[in-house]
Amino acid sequence: MTTFADAAVARLDGDERVIVETAAGFAAKKLAPFALEWDASNHFPVDELREASELGMGAIYCAEDAGGSGLRRLDGVRIFEQLAYADPAVASFLSIHNMCTWMVDKYGTDDQRSTWVPRLATMETVASYCLTEPGAGSDAAALATRAERSGDEYVLTGVKQFISGAGSSDLYVIMARTGEAGAKGISTFLVEKGSPGLSFGAQEHKMGWHAQPTAQVILDEVRVPAGNLLGGTEGIGFGIAMNGLNGGRINIAASSLGGAQAAFDKAAAYVASRRAFGNALIDEPTIRFTLADMATSLQASRLMLWQAASALDDDAPDKVEQCAMAKRFVTDTCYEVADQALQLHGGYGYLTEYGIEKIVRDLRVHRILEGTNEIMRVVLGRSIATRYRDS
């Protein structure tokens, strides 16, 4: 059986197809058989993540001279789609780790790159991204965590909220205020687990994403060497954080696409085998219409996502808008596809053993994180207003 997703992969060139097939093979063997078990037990599969890094998935689009894989963003979103087909929660965490690794590779000093990127690439060091705070979610420029210079160190005080990997990760990429109010006063720091004063809140009980831990990161006068200021310059942290999110947004969208594709395939197979009123459900016109709309939504999502990734690769003038548009459209649309797949299963879709309800739970948060979809509309609306006002 060849799906629309398979047909899209078949049209790739040889190297591109090998990258996708390698990710798909790893996901099918190392993630998919255990996804429901990890979800039920809240197990964080660090060993499997490190196995993924052996295939180059710990630093996908980082430079090869520092230990990265040197691939494109376009390759990255295709990889994350395949991983999320097996387990969206695990794929999403790996996307966050890659975002952190890229930030160090892109903005780090020579010493920071040579120290951290090789360890992040192998996932000997696992990283978490720390921007959101209890009082500063969508308004990230209003963050209150402070970093005060003290001789050859910085002293960090504050709380970060909803941090994936908190308590388990080895390195925390933390945005903190070193200067004036607003975006220009924010800097980025690399804080190691085990630093005195660094602690973590209780693990959050979440609707989905059970296979990755989420908690507060608490900084109580945490001292870090001045050399841990990412890029060696104060005041550039907000730009670092936002540029990191461009890639994070399309990666999370790719994770939505992979999960939704899996849900669609399960639903199509189910209605093909299920009989009602003397016929297979798939022979009912309304069922076919539903599947047709779902397949169209998936294909539109894939094309938009690939275009946004290419815009980021090409450093296109509209890359921010392209990534925001893809994040908004793909995460909304693919959540709807997953929910419709559950509906097609009827009561069975609500049972954990079929795996559909897990996908729905995991995909729901994608519409919130890496910038809520309402914020994506703000980004796009501002761009549209500026373009037409100035024309």
Cβ atoms 49, 31 nearer than 8 A: no
* Helical spans, DSSP H, in 13-152: 14-26, 35-41, 46-53, 73-86, 88-107, 110-122
Q: Which residues are catalytic?
A: 370
Helix pair angle (319-344, 356-364), 10° resolution:
150
351, burial (CB in 10 Å: exposed 0-12, middle 13-18, buried 19+): exposed
- Cα–Cα distance measured from residue 149 to residue 156, given in angstroms and rounded to the nearest whole number: 9
Phi then psi for residue 188, to 5 deg, are: -120, 135
Phi then psi for residue 150, to 5 deg, are: -140, 90
- Cα–Cα distance measured from residue 294 to residue 303, given in angstroms and rounded to the nearest whole number: 14
Q: Which of 195, 148, 143, 146 has the alpha carbon at shortest distance from 169?
A: 195
Strands 279-280 and 186-192 come out as unpaired
Cβ atoms 325, 31 nearer than 8 A: no
Cβ atoms 374, 332 nearer than 8 A: no
Helices (H) and strands (E) counted in the chain, each on its own, are: 12, 9
Strands 127-130 and 279-280 come out as unpaired
DSSP-based three-state secondary structure for 31 = helix
246, burial (CB in 10 Å: exposed 0-12, middle 13-18, buried 19+): buried
- Cα–Cα distance measured from residue 317 to residue 325, given in angstroms and rounded to the nearest whole number: 14
Cβ atoms 152, 121 nearer than 8 A: no
What number of other Cβ atoms are within 10 A of residue 379's Cβ?
A: 18
What number of other Cβ atoms are within 10 A of residue 238's Cβ?
A: 21
